């Protein structure tokens, strides 16, 4: 599978402190890729280096098959975390200007701006100054500006921060549509729940370092602690007494049961069915937050071991 973005041993140091430390990852074509981590983990710096706004101190970055060039720049839609518009400019002029600096021919720009403006119900505002628009309207303009040149790769830094619920929904909808057309989305967020719903693959950063990378599905399997949801007509003591059970918790009228790592889940279900009436049974996957915390814990342990 060809990589849309490829980072090899990339580092960026501000003063004595590394903002990004030996980061490598690759983003395959046609997926939604999440760059995750808490504030200060190095997400914005990584994105700025990918966008060639900043040069890395070490390592190599390839975007759309080559180091960033003008030609590649025009194929990328970028939404920085710090966003803004020329406040005194009219909405239409602004959109045409942003299309022009992506070298979109005028007639194409007219066509695309027209259709997006209709989709976002911005037409009455086209001749208003950006200043006169509400914040939500400005976010829509910003969003059109990001995709007006029909990019094949979208790079979005904290795209949902500050968005109102309507625009968040719009953004998510466009995400799906964009990916369905075989295009690639790379975005950063510190909200793991959002990433969990939108990402195919992730890269987790903490304290300037990569701690985890891969397809979300694989990671969930890898971090699964053999948990199952069980709805059964039995009291907690009886459930705890089943073979292979390590612990059990009551959740919403059912149980979350942690099984011994060696226990086969089908075997457990068969044995449970023999004793009690079971109304529901499902595997419980770890959510991204649990994976994150676990990964940080493991990374932390490894660090201590190295020091010792």
Point out which residues bind other proteins (CB under 8 A): 13-15, 19, 39-45, 48, 51, 53-57, 70, 73-74, 76, 78-89, 93, 97-98, 100-103, 145, 158, 208
156 or 245: CB nearest other proteins: 156
Number of neighbouring beta carbons within 10 Å of residue 189? 21
- Smallest gap, in angstroms, from Cβ of residue 73 to other proteins? 6
46 or 263: CB nearest other proteins: 46
203 or 248: CB nearest other proteins: 203
- Smallest gap, in angstroms, from Cβ of residue 25 to other proteins? 18
49, 59 in Cβ contact below 8 A?
A: no
CA distance 104 to 146: 13
Give the β-pairing of 32-36 and 184-189. parallel
73 or 231: CB nearest other proteins: 73
- Smallest gap, in angstroms, from Cβ of residue 270 to other proteins? 51
95 or 245: CB nearest other proteins: 95
CA distance 155 to 144: 14
- Smallest gap, in angstroms, from Cβ of residue 166 to other proteins? 22
71 or 267: CB nearest other proteins: 71
Tracing tokens 């304290």 back to the chain, one arrives at 207
Q: At what angle do helices 216-223 and 288-307 cross, to 10 degrees?
A: 70
CA distance 197 to 292: 15
Residue 88 DSSP label: T
Helix H or strand E segment including 280: strand 278-284
Count CA atoms closer than 13 A to 227's CA, side-chain side: 17
> The tokens of 217 are what?
């599905």
- Smallest gap, in angstroms, from Cβ of residue 291 to other proteins? 22
- Smallest gap, in angstroms, from Cβ of residue 132 to other proteins? 15
Tracing tokens 């701690």 back to the chain, one arrives at 211
- Smallest gap, in angstroms, from Cβ of residue 140 to other proteins? 15
Q: Which of 146, 133, 3 is nearest to 61 (CA)?
A: 3
> CB under 8 Å to 143, separation ≥6 — which residues?
79, 120, 167, 170, 171, 174
- Smallest gap, in angstroms, from Cβ of residue 121 to other proteins? 23
Q: Is 66 helix (H, G, I), strand (E, B) or coil?
A: strand
81 or 200: CB nearest other proteins: 81
47, 157 in Cβ contact below 8 A?
A: yes
The phi, psi pair for 120, rounded to 5°, reads -95, 5
152 or 255: CB nearest other proteins: 152
């Amino acid at each position: 599978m060809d990589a849309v973005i490829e980072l090899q041993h990339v580092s960026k140091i501000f003063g004595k402190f590394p903002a990004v430390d030996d980061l490598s990852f690759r983003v395959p074509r046609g997926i939604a890729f999440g760059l995750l981590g808490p504030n200060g983990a190095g997400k914005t710096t990584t994105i700025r280096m990918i966008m060639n706004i900043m040069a890395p101190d070490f390592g190599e970055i390839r975007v759309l098959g080559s180091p960033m060039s003008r030609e590649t720049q025009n194929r990328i839609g970028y939404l920085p975390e710090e966003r803004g518009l020329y406040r005194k400019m009219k909405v239409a002029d602004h959109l045409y200007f942003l299309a022009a600096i992506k070298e979109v021919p005028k007639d194409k720009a007219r066509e695309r701006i027209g259709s997006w403006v209709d989709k976002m119900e911005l037409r009455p505002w086209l001749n208003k100054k950006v200043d006169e628009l509400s914040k939500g309207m400005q976010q829509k303009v910003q969003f059109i500006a990001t995709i007006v040149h029909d990019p094949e790769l979208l790079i979005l830094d904290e795209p949902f921060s500050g968005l109102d619920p309507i625009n968040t929904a719009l953004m998510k909808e466009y995400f799906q549509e964009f990916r369905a057309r075989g295009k690639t989305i790379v975005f950063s967020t510190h909200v793991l729940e959002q990433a969990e719903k939108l990402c195919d693959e992730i890269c987790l950063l903490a304290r300037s370092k990569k701690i985890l990378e891969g397809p979300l599905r694989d990671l969930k399997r890898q971090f699964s602690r053999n948990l199952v949801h069980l709805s059964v007509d039995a009291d907690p003591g009886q459930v705890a007494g089943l073979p292979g059970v390590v612990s059990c918790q009551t959740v919403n009228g059912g149980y979350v049961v942690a099984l011994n790592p060696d226990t086969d889940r089908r075997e457990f279900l068969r044995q449970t069915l023999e004793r009690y009436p079971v109304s529901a049974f499902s595997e419980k996957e770890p959510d991204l937050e649990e994976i994150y915390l676990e990964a940080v814990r493991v990374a932390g342990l490894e660090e201590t071991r190295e020091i010792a």
